[in-house]
């Protein structure tokens, strides 16, 4: 335990004048108040420098290839962000043009995701896909309850069905909002959710099935079309109207550009809601996600509240209330600036770079690709070590790469594929071919060092006091 610090004191004007060296250095050459608020404040530059120097300790975000979240935007976008950083988006009455731009973004995304012409699309910005998922799944829970009540049936046992390949938000939703999570486990050679497994999981109490467009584990997609067709048949045969939600946190900004003919979205009749992360391949800094509904009626009226305390009557239907405006404007900036052609070019280049990286690593004979058929849906390299490598594991490789500043995740897959340990490299658009070549070289050098010296890393243990839904 660190001892409590003495209060930092900034230099007086006189002391600073007398300082033998640069005063910017002396400004923070004092003990830093860490765990209690200091009695007195300090010089603004001292406060700034203390925090700035602590930030040196963080990883370099541009070398952090374990994350999907955007780390590079254009200077004009950053200018807009800073010019509007002090606006609270929720105050629609005071900032009506922010709301107007928000609505334009919703409309652009609804069109991009092929919302049917005869429906009135509805959606909202969120803090990220997690809030978006919670809102969508809540709407489905409310709709399910209305349906059951109308039939005079019990409403105490809702369940939600998804694959073991989901991001953690789905398990969070189930626990936080008291819905039984029915998780279809992965298998050793199949890391996606397919329709043939659903019969054992879906029933009349299923509020929705969630399918992924762009899995965080392997970059593959669940069989969205097959699941849609299964749910259509289910309604015809049993009268159960179970909606499909598509988690397009990453894929929502890739599929429309890289595979425009691939129907993963509102083109499929059972798809009632879609989420996507503006701050992933939407190319905006952290703090923006989107949820889109096929039709306004899917978003249950009971979830909308009306408030008058900001002046005027504002409807509010998000989990969060206050939020910044900047990232919404930055999203619109990207839409204007890049257009479909720009997004297509960036996404395709990232796919090509990921393919190149994966190919180089597989050709070295040390790695095997996990995403079947190579990089097809998402610019993500998912690889495991070849069986012939016995002196080290993927965790050693990940650790060794940290010496060069690269952050590359190593992890084991969820049940029932937990014996598979893999490396995941998220290729974001700022990573060009040149940096992919350097990364390849660094990975192969790390492997060579580990072959000669051996490795000893262990998989980090997950703290799993809930049993995190490994069984359904
Ligand atoms: C990242 C991710 C999420 C969570 O999104 P946030 O924007 O980080 O809240 C949900 N689902 C999938 C598939 C993801 O990749």
Asked whether the predicted pLDDT for residue 141 surpasses 80, the reply is yes
Domain count, the chain: 3
Name the residue with higher pLDDT: 229 or 313: 229
31 assigned to some structural domain:
yes
175 and 226 co-located in one domain = yes
**Are 260 and 376 contained in the same domain?**
no
72-85 confidence digits (pLDDT tens) = 999 999 999 999 99
Regarding whether 228 and 170 lie in a shared domain, the answer is yes
DSSP of 347-393, one letter per residue? Answer: HHHHHHHHHHHHHHHHHTTSEEE-STTSS-SSSEEEEEE-TT--S--
411 shares its domain with 266: no
Q: Which of 306, 333, 360 is the last residue of a domain?
A: 333
Report CA(209)–ligand 1 centroid distance (Å).
17
Residue, of 340 and 15, whose pLDDT is higher: 340
Same domain, residue pair 387 and 282: no
Residue 83, domain member (yes or no) = yes
Residue 71 belongs to a domain: no
Residues 184 and 45 in one domain: no
DSSP class of residue 92?
T
The pLDDT value recorded for residue 15 is 63
DSSP 24-53: HHHTT-SPPP-SS--SS---HHHHHHHHHH
388, two tokens: 């012939």
Whether 294 and 430 map to the same domain: the answer is: no
Indicate which CATH number applies to the domain containing 397: 3.90.1150.160
Reply yes or no on whether the pLDDT at 143 is more than 70: yes
Contact predicate 276/290, CB 8 Å: yes
Distance of alpha carbon 355 from alpha carbon 281, whole angstroms: 17
pLDDT value at residue 31: 78
Ligand 1 contacts CB of residue 130 (under 6 A): yes
Contacts of 389 (CB under 8 A, 6+ apart): 366, 447, 451
The angle formed by the CA atoms of residues 299, 301 and 304, to the nearest 5 degrees, is 95
- Kindly state if the Cβ of 380 falls inside 6 Å of ligand 1: no
The alpha carbon of 32 and the centre of ligand 1 are apart by a number of angstroms equal to 36
Nearest-CA residue for ligand 1 atom 5 is: 129
Q: Is 125 in the pocket of ligand 1 (CB under 6 A)?
A: no
The Å distance, Cα 126 to ligand 1 centre, comes to 12
Within a domain: 339: no
Cα 197 to Cα 227: distance, rounded to the nearest angstrom: 10
In a domain, 88, yes or no: yes
* Cβ atoms 288, 329 nearer than 8 A: no
For ligand 1, the distance from its centroid to the CA atom of residue 411, given in whole angstroms, is 17
Question: What does the buried/exposed string (b/e) look like for 421-441 if buried means 16 or more CB atoms within 10 Å of the residue's CB?
Answer: ebbbbbbbbebeeebbeebbe
Spell out where 93-136 has E strands. Answer: 122-126
Q: 249 C-alpha to center of ligand 1: Å? A: 5
**Based on the domain organization, do 146 and 282 belong to the same domain?**
yes
| pLDDT on residue 271 | 98
Query: Do 362 and 258 fall within a single domain?
Result: no
Predicted local confidence at residue 18, as pLDDT: 56
Pocket test for ligand 1, best of 137, 245, 280 (most atoms within 8 A of CB): 280
- Of 270, 243, 217, 231, which Cα lies nearest the Cα of 378? 217
With a 6 Å cutoff on the Cβ, whether 216 touches ligand 1 is yes
User: What pLDDT, on the 0 to 100 scale, is given for residue 308?
Assistant: 82
* pLDDT of residue 311 exceeding 90: no
> How would residue 470 be classed by pLDDT, with cut points 50, 70 and 90?
very low
CB of 212 closer than 6 angstroms to any ligand 1 atom:
yes
Q: Ramachandran region of residue 63, left (φ > 0), alpha (ψ -120 to 50) or beta? A: alpha
pLDDT exceeds 80 at position 440: yes
Same domain, 34 and 95: no
For residue 279, the ligand 1 atom closest to its alpha carbon is 7
Domain membership flag for residue 67:
no
Q: Which of 67, 125, 128, 287 to mutate to test the pocket of ligand 1 (most atoms within 8 A of CB)?
A: 128
Mean pLDDT of 417-422: 92
CA of 133 to the centre of ligand 1 (A): 9
Lowest mean pLDDT segment, chosen from 10-19, 26-35, 106-115, 203-212:
10-19
Mean pLDDT of the chain: 91
Intra-chain end-to-end CA distance of the chain, in Å: 41
Q: Which of 162, 174, 216, 251 to mutate to test the pocket of ligand 1 (most atoms within 8 A of CB)?
A: 216
Question: Of the candidates 308, 333, 358, which is a domain's last residue?
Answer: 333
Q: Is residue 365 left, alpha or beta, with left meaning phi > 0 and alpha meaning psi from -120 to 50?
A: left
Region 263-273 average pLDDT: 98
State the residue range of the domain holding 420: 348-453
Examine the domain organization and report whether 186 and 270 are in the same domain. yes
- For residue 402 the two structure tokens come to 């940290």
- Domain end: 307, 333, 359, which one? 333
Q: Is the pLDDT of residue 43 over 70?
A: yes
Binding site membership of 222 for ligand 1 (Cβ less than 6 Å): no
Rounded to the nearest whole angstrom, what is the distance from the C-alpha of residue 258 to the centroid of ligand 1?
20
Q: Is the pLDDT of residue 11 over 90?
A: no
**Does the residue 227 lie in any domain?**
yes
Nearest one of 297, 246, 223, 228 to 137, comparing CA atoms: 246
Structure tokens of 410? 């190593």
DSSP 304: -
Measured in Å, residue 168 CA sits from the centre of ligand 1 at: 8
The pTM score is 0.92
170: pLDDT strictly greater than 50 = yes
- Asked if residue 42 has pLDDT above 90, the reply is no
Q: List the CATH number of the domain containing 133.
A: 3.40.640.10
Residue 327: inside a domain: yes
Distance 30 CA to ligand 1 centre (A): 41
Do 162 and 210 fall within a single domain?
yes
For residue 114, count CB atoms less than 10 angstroms from its CB and return exposed for 0-12, middle for 13-18, buried for 19 or more.
middle
- C-alpha 218 to ligand 1 mean position (Å): 14
């Amino acid at each position: 335990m660190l001892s409590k610090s003495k209060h930092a004191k900034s230099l007086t004007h006189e002391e600073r004048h007398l300082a033998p060296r640069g005063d910017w250095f002396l400004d923070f050459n004092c003990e830093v108040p860490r765990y209690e608020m200091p009695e007195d404040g300090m010089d603004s530059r001292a406060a700034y420098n203390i925090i700035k120097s602590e930030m040196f300790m963080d990883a370099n975000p541009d070398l952090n290839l374990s994350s999907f979240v955007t780390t590079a935007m254009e200077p004009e976008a950053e200018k807009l962000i800073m010019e509007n950083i002090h606006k609270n988006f929720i105050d629609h009455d005071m900032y009506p043009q922010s709301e107007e731009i928000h609505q334009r973004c919703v409309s652009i995304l609804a069109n991009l995701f092929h919302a049917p012409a005869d429906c009135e699309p509805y959606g909202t910005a969120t803090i990220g896909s997690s809030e978006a998922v919670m809102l969508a799944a809540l709407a489905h829970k409310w709709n399910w309850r209305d349906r059951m009540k109308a039939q005079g049936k019990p409403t105490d046992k809702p369940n939600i069905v998804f694959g073991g390949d989901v991001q953690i938000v789905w398990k969070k939703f189930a626990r936080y909002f008291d819905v039984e999570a029915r998780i279809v486990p992965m298998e050793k050679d199949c890391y996606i959710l397919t329709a043939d497994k659903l019969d054992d999981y879906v029933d009349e109490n299923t509020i929705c099935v969630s399918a992924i467009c762009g899995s965080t584990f392997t970059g593959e997609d669940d069989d969205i079309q097959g699941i849609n067709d299964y749910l259509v048949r289910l309604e015809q045969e049993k009268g159960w109207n179970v909606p499909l939600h598509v988690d397009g946190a990453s894929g929502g900004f890739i599929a429309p550009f890289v595979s425009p003919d691939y129907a993963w979205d509102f083109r499929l009749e059972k798809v009632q809601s879609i989420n996507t992360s503006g701050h992933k391949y939407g190319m905006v800094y952290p703090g923006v996600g989107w949820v889109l509904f096929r039709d306004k009626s899917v978003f249950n009226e009971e979830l909308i509240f009306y408030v008058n305390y900001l002046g005027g009557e504002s409807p509010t239907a998000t989990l969060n209330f206050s939020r910044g405006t900047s990232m919404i404007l930055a999203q619109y900036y990207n839409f204007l600036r890049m257009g479909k052609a720009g997004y297509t070019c960036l996404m395709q280049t990232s796919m090509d770079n990921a393919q190149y990286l994966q190919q180089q690593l597989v050709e070295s004979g040390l790695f095997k690709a996990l995403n079947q058929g190579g990089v097809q849906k998402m610019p993500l390299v998912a690889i495991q070590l070849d069986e012939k490598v016995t002196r080290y594991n993927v965790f050693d490789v990940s650790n060794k790469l940290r010496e060069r500043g690269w952050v590359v995740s190593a992890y084991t897959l969820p049940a029932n594929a937990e014996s598979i340990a893999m490396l995941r490299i998220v290729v974001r658009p700022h990573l060009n071919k040149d940096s992919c070549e350097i990364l390849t070289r660094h990975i192969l050098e790390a492997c060579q060092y580990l072959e000669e010296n051996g490795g000893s890393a262990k998989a980090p243990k997950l703290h799993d006091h809930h049993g995190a839904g490994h069984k359904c």
